[in-house]
Structure 1
Amino acid sequence: MKELLINFFKDEDGLETVEMVIILVVIVGLAFSFRKSLTKWYNDQIAQINNTDKGLPSVTEAK
């Protein structure tokens, strides 16, 4: 078993797998940390579309 673990960590494919798992964990962690703000933004956009006459947000001129 010990030899299997040593070979796994020496093998470059093993390191690539570990790197991919770490990257995936970071991406999922970021998605969960921004979940509330992204959901709020999405719901605000849908509400804005639903509150306009033609279903599209209106553009107002800056003063």
Structure 2
Amino acid sequence: MTTTLIITGMHCASCKALIEDVCSEIAGVRSCSVDVAKGEAVVEHDESVAPSLLAKEIEGLGKYGVRV
């Protein structure tokens, strides 16, 4: 399953790395590719991973807004 998340508040390569790291720690996530310029993350994951969980984990970092 592929989910595209719209993320606000990203500004640099460290934002990209932080979000990719957080997503990769979620069981069932196969890959996460963040594009800072587009303000989005494309996440490949099992159907057991709800898009809302992805958003919650990223928002939990306290720096970003996420829309599924």
The TM-score with structure 2 as length reference comes to 0.28
Structure with bigger strand share is 2
Q: Which has the larger radius of gyration?
A: 1
Structure with bigger helix share is 1
Which structure carries more relative contact order (alpha carbon 8 Å, separation 6+)? Answer: 2
The TM-score with structure 1 as length reference comes to 0.29
